[in-house]
Amino acid sequence: MKFWLGKYRPKHPVTTKKGLAGLGLFAENDIPKDDFIIEYKGPLITDEQADEKGGLYLFKVTDTPWTIDGSGRDNTARYINHSCKPNCIAYADGKKIVIYAKKNIKVGEELTYNYGKEYMEDLTCKCPHC
């Protein structure tokens, strides 16, 4: 599957396939450091609603009272797996979360970002670096 999402116009197609933990998201071409890759999409819900809902694919928008519910299958960015040594980084842009390359990424490489201490608090990290 190839995806071109969001107001941002990514120039890097991505594919979902088996990754580090279930499905993962993979680069279909080389991605230079600092290039935009994908937007983490979904409806905005309040932090209170996110606490009530619980579960996976909830992405807190830093310094706002909002969380993105990325559980919908149209949110391709939800397939980016965690790594303690990631090749991507997530940024808040207003009420959006956008994913950029933290370093040069080679074609076929799995895209990863660090989910953060709070998310990993109750989990044992299974990334290749741990």
Tell me the domain boundaries of the chain.
14-113
Q: In whole angstroms, what is the distance from residue 10 CA to residue 20 CA?
A: 24
Residue 99, number of CB atoms within 10 A of its CB: 21
More confident residue, 111 or 8: 111
Residue 116: CB atoms within 10 A of its CB come to: 11
Average pLDDT over residues 121-126: 70
Q: Helix, strand or coil for residue 68? A: strand
Give pLDDT, residue 65. 94
Task: Work out the mean pLDDT of the chain and round it to a whole number.
Answer: 86
- ∠ CA 69-127-31, rounded to 5°: 70
pLDDT tens by residue, 45-86 = 999 999 999 888 999 998 899 999 999 989 999 999 999 899
pLDDT at 48: 93
Q: What is d(CA 98, CA 94) in angstroms, rounded to the nearest whole number?
A: 10
* Alpha carbon distance 126, 10 (integer Å): 29
User: What is the rounded CA–CA span in Å between residue 129 and residue 122?
Assistant: 18
Confidence of residue 2 (pLDDT cuts 50, 70, 90): very low
Q: What is the pLDDT of residue 8?
A: 58
Instruction: Report pTM.
Output: 0.84
CB atoms within 10 A of CB 98: 20
Higher pLDDT, 3 or 15: 15
Residue 120, pLDDT above cutoff 80 = no
| Of the options 3.30.499.10, 3.30.450.20, 3.40.50.300, 2.170.270.10, the CATH number for the domain spanning 14-113 | 2.170.270.10
Query: Which helix (H) or strand (E) is 67 found in, with range?
Result: strand 66-69
- The SS3 call for residue 34 is coil
